[in-house]
């Protein structure tokens, strides 16, 4: 029988701990993109919100969604997260989920729920301030994944992982579109749908 390796060479806990740390820093990075987008709108520095000539700009609601999703994920990823921290994470995620689902409903039913200018009154046509469907779907997936993070924790594949993966795939799709000049992957040419700003899929990934 092969003897087990010395204890100092075994680090079964290091893998999960490292994964949690990486996930938390990814959440902080996504929140940073959202915060920069909001600062860009507040200060008029368009570059912070991805205001590149000929490309879509990060909408204020998108920036808010990224900020809150990142905060929610970072709080939930804390190993010492207590009831209050988890509750704050769920509240932030629930706000994002409600905003994202409402945005998708606006597209699906051709209605205006009055949330597009929630933060800023914009005047660009056709729907100023409205995130693209891809962005809204990604935010909905990520926030829902955070909300059900504790569901079936003992399963090899948790439900939350599928939702978070879907949000990451949406971001990767946009990045691939920018990298290879495949605009249909991030820009919907049919009105009144807009496109995905470059910082947005970067934050999702």
**Mean pLDDT (10-residue bins), the chain, 205 residues:** 44 58 85 93 84 79 94 86 92 97 93 85 69 92 92 77 90 85 73 65 62
Ranges of each domain in the chain: 15-151+158-204
Supply the pTM of this predicted model: 0.80
**Angle between helix 133-147 and 83-109 (nearest 10):** 150
Looking at residue 150, its pLDDT comes to: 81
| Residue among 75, 78, 68 nearest 38 (CA) | 68
Looking at residue 10, its pLDDT comes to: 42
Phi, psi of 47 (to 5 degrees): -60, -30
Measured over the CA atoms of residue 81, residue 84, residue 86 and residue 92, the dihedral's sign is negative
| Residue among 30, 172, 17 nearest 96 (CA) | 30
Looking at residue 7, its pLDDT comes to: 44
Please tell me the distance from the alpha carbon of residue 72 to that of residue 185, in angstroms, as a whole number: 28
The structure tokens listed for 69 are 């999703």
Phi, psi of 116 (to 5 degrees): -65, -30
CA atoms in the 13 A half-sphere facing the CB of 112: 10
Please tell me the distance from the alpha carbon of residue 48 to that of residue 176, in angstroms, as a whole number: 21
The structure tokens listed for 194 are 């807009």
How many residues are listed for the chain in this entry? 205
């Amino acid at each position: 029988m092969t003897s087990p390796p010395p204890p100092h060479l075994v680090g079964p806990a290091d893998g999960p701990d490292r994964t949690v740390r990486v996930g938390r820093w990814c959440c902080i990075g996504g929140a940073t993109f959202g915060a920069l987008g909001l600062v860009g709108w507040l200060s008029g520095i368009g570059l912070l919100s991805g205001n590149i000539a000929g490309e879509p700009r990060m909408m204020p609601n998108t920036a808010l969604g990224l900020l809150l999703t990142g905060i929610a994920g970072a709080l939930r990823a804390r190993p010492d997260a207590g009831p209050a921290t988890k509750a704050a994470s769920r509240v932030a995620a629930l706000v994002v989920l409600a905003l994202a689902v409402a945005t998708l409903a606006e597209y699906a039913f051709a209605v205006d729920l009055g949330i597009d200018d929630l933060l800023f009154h914009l005047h660009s046509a056709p729907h100023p301030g409205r995130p693209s469907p891809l962005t809204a779907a990604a935010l909905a997936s990520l926030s829902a994944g955070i909300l059900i993070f504790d569901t079936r924790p003992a399963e090899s594949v948790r439900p939350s992982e599928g939702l978070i993966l879907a949000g990451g795939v949406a971001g990767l799709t946009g990045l691939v579109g920018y990298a290879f000049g495949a605009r249909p992957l991030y820009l919907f040419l049919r009105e009144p749908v807009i496109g995905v700003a470059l910082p947005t899929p970067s934050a999702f990934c």
